[in-house]
Structure 1
Amino acid sequence: MASEYREPTYGNWRKPVSPGIGRLGLAGTLILMVGLIVVTMIAMLSPVASLVAVVVLGLVMVPLVIQDRHGRTALQTLTARLNWWWGRSQGWHLYRSGPLSVVPHGSCRLPGLLAQSRLVEGRDSYGRPFALIVIPSTRHYTVVFECNADGAALVDQEQIDTWVAHWGHWLAALGYEPGLVAASVTVETAPDLGHRLREEVQATFDPKAPELARAALEEIVWNYPVGSARVSTRIAVTYAALPHPGGKRRDQDSMVREIGMRIPGLISGLEMTGAGSARPMTADQLARAVRLAYDPDAQSDMEAAEVGGTRWDDAGPAAAQESWDHYVHDSGHSITWGMSEAPRGEVLSNVMSSLVAPHHDIARKRVTFLYRPHDPASAARIVERDRKDSRFRLDGSASAARNEIDVIKSDQSALEEAKGAGVTRFTVLVTATVRSAEELPVAAAAVDTIAAPARLRLRQMYGSQASAFAAALPLGIVLPDHLNVPALVRESL
């Protein structure tokens, strides 16, 4: 009998719009209106001076009107370029650590946004050890879970859709977590050197086994890892020391105790999402993962080592240099892309399969999904404001085809939120790491190829490759909290 099951589709990802005239946001519209009033007042006094005022107003408005295909204005591009030139003139693009550097104690600390980070350890309600990443500048505390994702191979489509539904419920539940500010999922693919397989075979090997069986096992150990990839999945959850505006700031010991009590509940919620068995990562495991990200050639030595002992203060690179379009760190050369537009229309559950799968042209690939869930009160306010802004743009637009679709989608979002759905801001970072500068163009072409089936629009993080590389690691960096421009100003442009 034919199955009547219909595979569900997903979509309606919306980026909140700012009310304005044409391509202008709220800030640009206000500047234009104030400028026109000033020009009118000047014209009443001197027609010649009014012409000069019109030219000045035009020069101010042009950078706000011109946009590239990623939606960035000329003002944003110019500001990024000027900041890059200033930072390069100050030598901020160079980093050196180790015994001969100026880094305290001759250690290899992490650079950039992670320079002041530290690790603290605690135990959860079940007595399992876990590590917390502390970022003092934002007072954020991050716990990282390592998951053994089941994967979609030989799994019924109904089961996959059930996993997706439970993942949506897990993300929506994060909005009710007091003090939670962000979450991330990092899927990393790297070459499998076969150390784990060799250790497993040696641990269970019987010296009295037949010669044929021994020869077969030895052949498997040496040949099986060739060309294979290791896929690691890590989920990071970030809490703030200040649970809500006006609340009492919590100290480090309080955060360790509170997060330790919440870890079992977070893990239990992941059981039905396809994440497999999840467990909190320890300090040594986190330090090893970060060390391999900055120095891929250290993988063989670190996997062959029988004991741990990697310190957080030595997890960073010995040398790093940031360029406008790539990042060099120890034995790796990396390029990081950021999502500028989510998939349009409806997609199926396997839309991201090509993006997270291993690729033979990229030595190490890291795909990170960054989430910022809103609490229920903020979610209702956001969807209602977006609904009003969409209608405002529809009323003031001559070409209303896309704006009509935006109104329909904003109405649907408001209806789903009223029924209890969560509202979460998200983005995607993709980092491709290779071993030489000559391989970077090949890796960039490979990312362009695998991004097309995912229906993502990606742009290279020009001028901020080091920060984007760090943000793509499962360490709880919330990029908007590290920016100098207030969120209200950024969203109004």
Structure 2
Amino acid sequence: MSNDAQVMVRQYGNIAEDRTAGLLGFSMASTVVLGVGAVGVFLFIMASRIGVATGIAVAAFVAATVLGSKDRHGRSAPERWLAKRMFTRAQKRHRTTYKAGPASQLPDGSFRAPGVLAGTVPVAFTDLFGHEGVMLWHRQLKTGTVFVVANSSGLGLLDQGRVDRMVGTWAAFQRDAGSNTELVQVSVTTQSTTDPGERLPDAVAVGRAQAGDRQVPAFARATMDAVVADLNQDVPKLQQWIALTFSARANAAEGVPERTPGELATDVSSLLSGFLEQLEQAGAGSVSLMKTTELIDQTYVAYNPLAAAAVERARLSEAGTGLRWEEVGPAAARVIGSPGRYEHGGVVSKSWQMWRPPAGTFRENALVALLAPTAEMLQKRVTVFYRPQSPDSSATQVQQALTNAQFAANQKNRRPTSSQIIALEKARKAEREQAEGASLVRFSIV
């Protein structure tokens, strides 16, 4: 009799792409085109205009084929043409170049962040325990985003049982987030950069100052000097934060009126303690609210990476950087190419986004390689966006996904493919999980 215990390898997933199935393997857009073409063919045949009906049939089939053909990035030819057309139009209108400062067209001559951040303003608040935080208020969208700094220790030295509990707590966090009608999005960002090398010398200097006149062995002092000189170069620096976005719009169904930034900050402060406790249990480590100065300095370095060392030195001093939110943007920036690069602050940035969900299930360490530091990049940020759905919305969308999967797999005179069978199994599993209390979560990675 063997004493070896069977080890169960836990896998996570049940990720499915949200799309509506069409007829005969065509996409939904292609099916609509074919349907409109079929109606046109029928009308012209009834009018005894066979030539026109034939032309419509051929045109509809060609249009459906073009719409259904995708490149390796999941984009059809019309989508690629539309993207290039919009970029060309933006270039002609000089909307791909940004200039800030007194010589710019900005009314206040500031260095505001371009894009979505241009319409935001930080609002400081204090939670129920007296901890200072900041909410980034967007005037047009009427949303407020609160940032939580995480200090996760990673998966090292954790047994599988502990990892499973962390994953379960994160799922519970997403479920509770979906039940809160005010919370519209959760994002988790992991940023890897090269440490400017200012913190270690400062820590050593503080330690020696605290030692005062006490005798320190010369060997210990020489060892610390060697560490600072030799091991404090090109050291990767990992930072993580969670952003919780709340809506201040009126919700008639829940009886919630529209709120001002101050009122939303007050409401959010009462919810944060529960969210922070769940985040700690989900593996975020020690968590704390991001302060206004931290948000400003972090955003400034994102647009001006070459100033990271100067910002680090200023933050270690008592005076700080003294930056304002109106000064976090670059002096100039421009977009090149379509899709292209973003030049700002003497560096070039490029973004990638997930266009197709991962196939099958995956382990808890599936994103480790993606999140790890890369020597070729001065800054690397990976953000996972989550849109938790409410229980009612989850039930409706799960039923729609099941209906689409059944329709795609059970069409007459067509044998279902392996992917269609797997999609149907995932839809049925999602229905069971939703009935047991789980919620649907939309997600993307940038």
Per the normalisation by structure 2, the TM-score is: 0.92
Q: Which residue of 1 aligns with 2:236?
A: 229
Q: 1:283 offset after TM fit, Å? A: 1.2
Matching residue of 1:276 = 285
Deviation per CA, 1:416-471: give whole Å up to 9, x if none.
11001121000111xxxxxxxxxxxxxxxxxxxxxxxxxxxxxxxxxxxxxxxxxx
Contact 1:146 1:281 (8 Å CA) reproduced: yes
Partner of residue 406 from structure 1, selected from 401, 423, 426 = 423
2:27 aligned with 1:11: no
CA distance in 2, matches of 1:22, 1:170: 40
Q: Aligned letter for 1:238? A: T
Corresponding position: 1:262 with 2:271: yes
Aligned residue type for 2:40: V
Aligned with 1:215 (options 193, 214, 222): 222
Q: Distance in 1 between matches of 2:104 and 2:311?
A: 24
- What is the aligned partner in structure 2 of residue 77 from structure 1? 80
- Between 166-175 and 19-28, the greater mean CA deviation after superposition: 19-28
Hey, what's the Cα distance between the residues in 2 that align with 1:24 and 1:290? 44
Matched, 1:187 2:190: yes
Determine which of 110, 115, 131 is the counterpart of 2:113: 110
- The alpha-carbon deviation at position 62 of structure 1 amounts to 3.7
**CA 292–22 in structure 1, closer or farther in 2 if over 3 Å, else same:** farther
Q: Which amino acid aligns with 2:301?
A: L
**Structure 2 regions of 5+ residues with no counterpart?**
none
Paired residue total? 429
2:177 pairs with one of 174, 177, 185: 174
Distance in 1, matches of 2:343 and 2:279, equals: 35
**Comparing 13-22 with 62-71, which one deviates more in the overlay?**
62-71
String of CA shifts for 1:286-317, please: whole Å, max 9, x gaps: 11111111111110100011113221111111
Q: Of 288, 291, 294, which residue of structure 2 is paired with 1:285?
A: 294
In the other structure, the counterpart of 1:319 is: 332
> Once the two structures are superposed, what CA deviation does each residue of 1:98-142 show, in whole Å capped at 9, x if it has no partner?
122111322110111221111111111111111111122221110
4+ residue segments displaced more than 3 Å = 1-5, 22-28, 243-247
- Give the counterpart of 1:332 among 325, 329, 347: 347
Contact 1:11 1:344 in 2 (8 A): no
What SS does structure 1 have at the residue aligned with 2:79? helix
Q: Secondary structure at the match of 1:340?
A: coil
Per the alignment, do residues 162 and 5 of structure 1 end up closer, same or farther by CA in structure 2, a change over 3 Å counting? farther
Unaligned runs of 5+ in 1: 430-493
| Cα contact 1:179–1:243 (8 A) shared by 2 | no
Letter paired with 2:306: D
Partner of 1:438 in structure 2? none
The aligned amino acid for 2:350 is I
Conservation of the 8 A alpha-carbon contact between 1:374 and 1:424: yes
Provide the alpha-carbon RMSD of the alignment: 1.8
The one-letter amino acid of 2:385's match is: L
Contact 1:294 1:331 in 2 (8 A): no
- 1:91 paired residue among 79, 89, 94: 94
Answering whether residue 54 of structure 2 is matched by residue 37 of structure 1, we say no
| 1:49 is aligned to 2:87 | no
Amino acid at match of 1:228: V
Partner Cα distance (2:5, 2:296) in 1: 49
State the SS of the aligned residue for 1:182. strand
Q: Check the 8 A contact 1:379/1:423 in 2, yes or no.
A: yes
Normalised TM-score (structure 1): 0.83
| Contact 2:27/2:68 (8 A) holds in 1 | no
**Higher mean C-alpha displacement, 322-331 vs 373-382:** 322-331
Q: Given the superposition, is the C-alpha separation of residues 343 and 5 from structure 1 closer, same or farther in structure 2, using an over 3 Å criterion?
A: same
AA in 2 matched with 1:116: G
Matching residue of 1:421 = 438
CA distance in 2, matches of 1:171, 1:178: 13
Distance 1:311 1:381 in 2: 45
1:236 Cα offset (Å): 0.2
Aligned to 2:376: 361
In structure 2, what residue type is equivalent to 1:28? S
Structure with max Cα Rg: 2
Q: Is 1:369–1:426's contact at 8 Å kept on the other side of the alignment?
A: yes
User: C-alpha displacement at 1:24, in angstroms?
Assistant: 3.6
2:245 aligned to 219, 238, 244, which one?
Answer: 238
Following superposition, the deviation at residue 399 of structure 1 comes to: 4.3
Q: CA deviation at 1:371?
A: 0.4
Distance 1:159 1:136, change over 3 A: same
- 2:144, 2:381 → 1: CA distance? 22
* Structure 1 residue matching 2:361: 3-state secondary structure: coil
What are the Cα deviations for residues 126-179 of structure 1, in whole angstroms up to 9, with x where unaligned? 111111111222211100000111112233233223222211221222111231
Partner-residue secondary structure (3-state), 1:370: strand
Quick one: percent identity of the two aligned structures?
A: 28
Tell whether the 8 Å contact from 2:34 to 2:61 is kept in structure 1 after alignment. Answer: no
Would the aligned equivalents of 2:193 and 2:380 in 1 still touch at CA under 8 Å? Answer: yes
Is 1:250 the counterpart of 2:259? The answer is yes
User: How far, CA to CA, are the matches of 1:221 and 1:302 in structure 2?
Assistant: 20
Code of the residue aligned with 1:214 in structure 2: it is R
Match of 1:148 in 2: 151
